[in-house]
Amino acid sequence: MTTGSDTRARAERLWARAGGGDGGPRLTRLQRLAARFGRGAVIGVPYLWLLLFFLLPFLIVLKISFAEFRIGVPPYTPLLEWLEGGYLQIRLALGNYLFLGQDPLYISAYLSSLKVAAVSTLIALFIGYPMAYAIARASPSWRAVFLLLVILPFWTSFLIRVYAWIGILKNNGLINNALMALGLIDDPLPLLNTEISLYVGIVYSYLPFMVLPLYATLEKMDVSLIEAAADLGCRPLRVFLTVTLPLSMPGIVAGSMLVFIPAVGEFVIPDLLGGADTLMIGKVLWSEFFTNRDWPVASAVAIAMLVLLVIPIVIFQHYQQRQAERAEET
Amino acid sequence: MPDHTVWGQCDMMETVAPGAAAARPEGSRPGAVLRRAEARPIIEIDDVVKTFGAFVAVDHVSLTIREGELFALLGGSGCGKTTLLRMLAGFERPTAGRILIGGQDMTDTAPYDRPVNMMFQSYALFPHMTVEANVAFGLRQDRMPRAAIRERVREMLDLVELTPFAKRKPHHLSGGQRQRVALARSLAKHPKVLLLDEPLAALDKKLRERTQLELVGIQERVGTTFVVVTHDQEEAMTMADRVAIMDSGRIIQVDTPHALYEYPNTRFVAEFFGTVNLFEGQLVEDEPDHLLIRCDALANPVYVGHGISAREHATVWIALRPEKLAVSTTRPDAPHNWDRGIVEDIVYLGGISTYHVRLDGGALARVTTQNLERMSAPEITWDDVVYVSWRPDNVVVVTS
């Protein structure tokens, strides 16, 4: 009897020492700790990744952009240098950035990149909007098929698809052969390495990024709004302009940003499909780095391009945040 | 609208159900009933059929709705009432038949060319426009001068008491306020007919009951013809001058709420429109001044004070409304129109009580009585043997 009650008392004392009578608070404290650690891990790992593989390389590029070209390894001057007598010399060469402003090549490359990206975005919007609209209004079973077809090209490598366009557009390629076989033309049309092939390549590659966000907004839209507008005396074109278009604005902004931003810095498509005179900042960057081997100027080009692209991204983010706030209010 | 001042004689004959030729009181809104007498038809639906693939949504429907009327299309889900309304608005094209609005054939007219407006179940307010802009939307399509639009919007917002909310966006309004914006928007263009698709379905019960009467008040003030689609029998009764009861694409009966309740033409209407005790029976006697019906479920024959001129021994159903039955503990002397049973359940609802009486034949009869006295002790209680009786003129006989 006594031993039995002794053991029990001891167990109770142990239990109390371990964390109080009911054991509840201890458990929650543990859980809270786990939760905090878990949340930290979930947020921390991607941030660590970005720090290691984005921010550090970016800082290195930023550093190089303030250096000067020299022949040697590495092919640029150091930023910090110990001098005799315990001096630490910091040499910030701003010449690279000034050079970008002085040489019309870079400015026109930037401008032409913006132009190409803007025109491509507009073409993608004009092709993508009707597509997205048709998919959103299709029956649910067809909708799934159409969406699959939009995403299907991603199954193949981007590079291979761009190469495939060479085969289609070149002088003895698919289109020219077909047109000549039909007797419509005698000599092949110059399609490849022109503005046309450049736009075809960019619009083709980025069209899904336009269609998908547009589809998402159009699909959510209440059809009875369109009916209500028609009921109130609005003809189809005006229904589109006064109701459908304003309500699909978030999709238009998202799609346009997703096409415009990567198109500005695009290098592969202008290199493979564009003409010799196609001037795009991605291509300039490439030749500066690999042909000219001028790392500092190439870095400055890269930093300037980044700044140029950050502006539309910030606008986009701001717009999205406003949308989210508005959605919260409803 | 000249009809508002001409108060003619009510032509009730047209709506009288078979076997109910006797004079009967007018509907719940006598003014509206009288006013309609000389009103001309505003909507004529002529043998309209609508099919979706193999499914027949609307099946040979013909219907006339008169100017200034508050007309309800009542039925369960999938009965075709909404499809019919959408055909009036022009969102669906009839597979066969014609639709005339204001005397003009509008069967193939696009929604934006029709002189009708619709209030949607979801309200369909434009979320990117203010209340004001929503109400003005239809007027802008007509290229009305700005000042006139502003005046009309102000007038409409006054009508629905939303003037302080003119600058708000719809998502900043309550459900009831949104409903009123939708009403103002659909009335702004002076439509010949306003179509309302379940206008109160999204509101809670209390608000719905108040809004029903508000809608009727607004309808009387503006004088527009309203066609309301609803699945709620009480809502139809509260609001409508006339109700069309629909079932699987067909119109079963069109009449005033009063006539539908007291003179249903089929079992379906009797059961759909209120509570009813239905008994199947055989016609034993069919004279011009009386009927005698024998029901298997009832011990005594049923005597009805009018004839129906059906063939002898035909199968008929008698419909007895719960409030038209009397329950008592004393045995009636009459040779017909009563039966004996045991009280199975008593539902006390404050104002009224419903007795569920299991008749000796096995059928259940529901009898409601008004609780007129506050202090009187209930003399009938559970498991009592009671006698259920009714007057000959309170029996409704339906043949299908």
* Closest chain B CA to residue A230: B112
Residue type, A247: L
**Binary contact (A230, B111; C-beta < 8 A):** yes
- The helix or strand, by DSSP H or E, that contains position A92, with its residue range, turns out to be none
Which chain B residues are Cβ-neighbours of A246 within 8 angstroms?
128
Query: What pLDDT is recorded for position A17?
Result: 60
Answer whether residue B161 is part of any domain: no
Q: Does B341 lie in the same domain as B213?
A: no
For residue A12, the model assigns a pLDDT of 60
CATH code for the domain of B299: 2.40.50.140
**Who among A225, A234, A238 is closest to B124 (CB)?**
A225
* Most confident region among A95-99, A135-139, B395-399 by mean pLDDT: A135-139
Q: CB-CB: which of A228, A242, A243 is closest to B120?
A: A228
To the nearest whole Å, the CA of B157 is away from the closest chain A CA by 17
Q: How far is A275 from chain B (nearest CA, A)?
A: 45
Q: What is the pLDDT of residue B375?
A: 66
Are B355 and B384 in contact by the 8 Å Cβ rule? The answer is no
Write down the pLDDT at residue A1: 45
Cis amide linkage into residue A74, ω under 30° from 0 = yes
Contact B121, B213 (CB under 8 A): no
As a whole number of angstroms, the distance between CA B198 and CA B357 comes to: 36
Q: Which fold has domain A95-329?
A: MetI-like fold (1.10.3720)
* pLDDT value of position B282: 87
Per the domain annotation, does B218 fall within a domain? yes
The residues, ordered by sequence, that sit 6+ positions from B180 with a Cβ below 8 Å of its Cβ are B160, B161, B162
Chain A: closest CA distance from residue B326 (Å): 51
Exposure b/e, B235-265, CB count within 10 A at least 16 = b: bbbbbbbbbbbbbebebbbbbbbbbbbbbbb
Q: Are residues B353 and B262 in the same domain?
A: no
**Residue B207 is part of a domain; what is its CATH number?**
3.40.50.300
Residue B336: per-residue pLDDT: 87
B122 touches chain A (CB under 8 A): yes
Domain boundary among B268, B300, B334: B268
Distance from CA of A237 to the nearest CA of B (A): 12
Same structural domain for residues B218 and B105?
yes
- Total domains present in chain B: 2
Residues 78-97 of B with CB under 8 A from A: 89-91
Within this chain, do residues B312 and B350 fall inside the same structural domain, yes or no?
yes
pLDDT tens track for A50-92: 999 989 999 999 999 998 888 888 888 888 888 888 888 888 8
Residue B156 identity: M
Whether A222 and B122 lie within 8 Å, measured CB to CB:
yes
Contacts of B90 in chain A (CB under 8 A): 230-231
Spell out which residues of chain A touch residue B127, defining contact as CB-CB under 8 Å. 247, 330
Indicate if B236 and B315 belong to the same structural domain. Answer: no
Instruction: Write out the residue range of the structural domain in which residue B260 sits.
Output: 24-115+191-268
Please indicate, yes or no, whether residues B288 and B223 belong to a single structural domain of this protein: no
Interchain contact, B112 vs A235, CB within 8 Å: yes
- Per-residue tens of pLDDT for chain B, all 400 residues: 343 333 333 333 333 334 333 333 344 444 444 455 567 899 999 999 999 999 999 999 999 999 999 999 999 988 999 999 999 999 999 999 999 999 999 999 999 999 999 999 999 999 999 999 999 999 999 888 999 999 999 999 999 999 999 999 999 999 999 999 999 999 999 999 999 999 998 888 888 888 899 999 999 999 999 999 999 999 999 999 999 999 999 999 999 999 999 999 899 999 888 889 999 988 888 887 888 888 888 888 888 887 776 667 788 898 999 999 998 888 888 888 999 999 999 998 888 889 999 999 889 999 998 888 776 656 788 888 999 999 988 888 888 8
Asked whether residue B303 falls in the same domain as residue B225, the answer is no
Same domain, B256 and B331: no
Q: Using CB atoms, pick whichever of B128, B172, B189 lies closest to residue A232.
A: B189
Q: At A23, which helix (H) or strand (E)?
A: none
pLDDT of amino acid B287: 80
Measure in Å the smallest separation between the Cα of A219 and chain B Cα atoms: 16
Domain-embedded: residue B172 = no
CB-CB neighbors (< 8 A) of B116 in chain A = 231
ipTM: 0.80
- Give A 199-228 residues with CB within 8 A of chain B: 222, 224-225, 227-228
Q: Cβ contact (<8 Å) for B138 and A246?
A: no
Q: Quick check: A329 and B138 CB within 8 A?
A: no
- Boundary of a domain, candidates B268, B292, B309: B268
B383 with B302, same domain? yes
Domain boundaries along the sequence of chain A: 2-65, 95-329
pLDDT of B247? 93
Nearest CA of chain B to the CA of A227: how many Å? 7
Is the domain of B279 the same as that of B236?
A: no
Annotate chain B with three-state secondary structure: CHHHCCCCCCCCHHHCCCCCCCCCCCCCCHHHHHHHCCCCEEEEEEEEEEEECCEEEEEEEEEEEECCCEEEEECCCCCCHHHHHHHHHCCCCCCEEEEEECCEECCCCCHHHCCEEEECCCCCCCCCCCHHHHHHHHHHHCCCCHHHHHHHHHHHHHHCCCHHHCCCCHHHCCHHHHHHHHHHHHHCCCCCEEEEECCCCCCCHHHHHHHHHHHHHHHHHHCCEEEEEECCHHHHHHHCCEEEEEECCEEEEEECHHHHHHCCCCHHHHHHCCCCEEEEEEEEEEECCEEEEEECCCCCCEEECCCCCCCCCCEEEEEECHHHCEEECCCCCCCCCEEEEEEEEEEECCCEEEEEEEECCCCEEEEEEECCCCCCCCCCCCCCEEEEECCHHHCEEECC
Closest CA to A240 of A252, A225, A250: A225
Asked if A329 has any chain B CB less than 8 Å from its own CB, the reply is yes
Tell me the C-alpha distance between A57 and A65, whole Å: 12
Confidence check: pLDDT of A329 > 60: no
B284–chain A Cβ distance below 8 A for any pair: no
Q: Are residues B288 and B242 in the same domain?
A: no
Closest-CA residue of B relative to A225 is B124
Answer whether residue A312 shows pLDDT above 80: no
- Measured between CA atoms, the residue of chain B closest to residue A222 is B124
Higher pLDDT, A258 or A16: A258
Out of B117, B122, B172, whose CB is closest to A231?
A: B117
Is B338 inside a domain boundary? yes
- B281 and B218 in one domain? no
Q: pLDDT (tens digit, 9 = 90+) per residue, A28-49?
A: 777 888 878 888 888 888 899 9
Q: Which residues of A8-22 are buried (b: 16+ CB within 10 A; e: fewer)?
A: eeeeeeeeeeeeeee
Domain boundary among B268, B290, B323: B268
Residue from the list B117, B120, B137 with its beta carbon closest to the beta carbon of A224: B120
Q: Residues of A numbered 228-267 whose beta carbons fall under 8 angstroms of chain B's beta carbons: which are they? A: 228-235, 238, 242-243, 246-247
Residues of B in contact with A242 (CB under 8 A): 137
- Is any Cβ of chain A less than 8 angstroms from the Cβ of B141? yes
B152 touches chain A (CB under 8 A): no
